């Protein structure tokens, strides 16, 4: 549950009550979360390659 207190739940209900196309918003949120996860995973993978390969001398000091 995203809203952990009754007050937050009321805010969530109030905010979303007039929102059109709730299902479309849910799909958008799911797609955005998946995209963010893929971007994060790609970044971690690239950083792991850099670290495994060693950094050039001028970047090691940083």
pLDDT digits (tens, 9 = 90+) for 23-43: 777 877 788 888 889 999 999
Distance in angstroms between the alpha carbons of the first and the last residue of the chain: 42
pTM above 0.85, yes or no: no
Q: What pLDDT is recorded for position 27?
A: 76
* Residues 62 and 56: beta-carbon distance below 8 Å: no
Q: Round to whole Å and give the CA distance between 36 and 4.
A: 24
pLDDT at 3 over 70: no
User: What is the band of 10 on the pLDDT scale with cuts at 50, 70, 90?
Assistant: confident
* Cα torsion 4, 8, 10, 12: sign: negative
* Cα torsion 31, 2, 7, 9: sign: positive
């Amino acid at each position: 549950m995203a809203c952990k207190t009754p007050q937050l739940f009321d805010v969530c209900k109030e905010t979303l009550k007039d929102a059109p196309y709730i299902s479309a918003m849910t799909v958008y949120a799911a797609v955005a979360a998946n995209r963010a996860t893929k971007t994060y995973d790609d970044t971690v993978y690239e950083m792991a390659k850099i670290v495994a390969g060693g950094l050039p001398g001028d970047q090691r000091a940083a």
